[in-house]
Amino acid sequence: MGKVSPDDPLFDIIEDAYRVFAYPKPKSIEVCEGCCMDAAVEADFFNPPIRELPLSYVQDWYFAAYQPSGIAKETWAYLLPRILEILAAGQEVSSIGIEVSLSRFQTGNPEHWSAREWDVIDRFQRGFLKQKIGPDEDYLDDVVCMFALAGWAVEDLVKQVSTAPDAALARRFWNDWCRYVVPGREDVWITAFWEGHGRSTAYNFYTSPDLHDRMLRLALGKLTEPELGEKAFAVASVIEGSEMG
């Protein structure tokens, strides 16, 4: 479980990650020992090759407490290819939520990595976020928050989202804000995991006049298919109801 197939759009990036982040096996699991993890999993954690580290092991590791200062770079870098692959495969590394998946080390700070390492990390971030703008079970804001908590600039993440085609954004936001909501209770989805100014930056984009106008133009476009037009209009209505920033 938690493996990507060769036809996956992120497969090459994951393969590059395993090659570039070929760090030695760490001596410590960097989390609470003899308490939080299953004893058998803890004892066997570093025995499997990193490519074959079981999903259940990774999830158990995420369940364990760790120092507020975070995980040592060497441990994080060793585990990172497997973590990225699990995310690319659409699996959860943590039962808490996708938002915390990359936050045990400031993954999004290029100063922490070599040029080759950052190239892989940056390509994964951009490819993964672009993929999540399409049909997906995860809320888009949760994914944006995941990268922000890991050190990426929220402003850059929002800019990446904003460059997506209007139709893709209409479908994505309709899915996140309208699809599973009681009619009349539609609202902008914003995850509770946001910290600092990230929440307001993301929310201001979701409720911006620019995004509203893009959705309205799409909804009223003569060449827009009726179903897409309805979704775009619904998204524009949610933005209007949220007191546009």
Q: Do 183 and 128 share a domain, yes or no?
A: no
Half-sphere exposure of 102 (CA within 13 A, CB side): 27
Cα separation values, 28 from 37, 94, 192, Å: 13, 20, 31
Q: Do 112 and 57 share a domain, yes or no?
A: yes
Q: Do 111 and 176 share a domain, yes or no?
A: no
Residue 35 has pLDDT above 80, yes or no: no
pLDDT > 70 fraction of the chain, expressed in percent and rounded: 99
Structural domains of the chain, count: 2
Residue 34 has pLDDT above 70, yes or no: no
Is residue 142 within 8 Å of 161, Cβ to Cβ? no
pLDDT recorded at residue 244: 59
Residue 116 lies in a domain: yes
Whole-angstrom distance, CA of residue 149 vs CA of residue 100: 7
Residue 115 lies in a domain: yes
Q: Do 128 and 20 share a domain, yes or no?
A: yes
pLDDT recorded at residue 67: 81
Over residues 79-122, the pLDDT tens digits come to: 999 999 999 999 999 999 999 999 999 999 999 999 999 999 99
Q: Binning pLDDT at 50, 70 and 90, where does residue 70 land?
A: confident
Residue 50 lies in a domain: yes
Instruction: Indicate the angle between helix axes 11-20 and 115-133, nearest 10 degrees.
Output: 160
Residue 245 has pLDDT above 70, yes or no: no
pLDDT recorded at residue 19: 98
Domain boundary among 112, 132, 152: 132
Q: Do 116 and 217 share a domain, yes or no?
A: no
Residue 174 lies in a domain: yes
Q: Do 122 and 194 share a domain, yes or no?
A: no
Residue 64 lies in a domain: yes
Domain boundary among 114, 132, 150: 132
Q: Do 16 and 121 share a domain, yes or no?
A: yes
Compute the average pLDDT of residues 36-62: 93
Residue 6's φ and ψ, nearest 5 degrees, are -60, -25
Residue 143 lies in a domain: no
Q: Binning pLDDT at 50, 70 and 90, where does residue 132 land?
A: very high
Cα separation values, 107 from 38, 41, 96, 126, Å: 27, 25, 19, 14
Q: Is-above-0.85 flag for pTM?
A: yes
Q: Do 51 and 96 share a domain, yes or no?
A: yes
3-state secondary structure of 30: coil
pLDDT recorded at residue 182: 79
Over residues 176-228, the pLDDT tens digits come to: 999 988 788 899 999 999 999 999 999 999 999 999 999 999 999 999 999 99
Q: Do 103 and 184 share a domain, yes or no?
A: no
Residue 157 lies in a domain: no
Q: Which domain holds residue 42?
A: 11-132
Q: Do 18 and 128 share a domain, yes or no?
A: yes
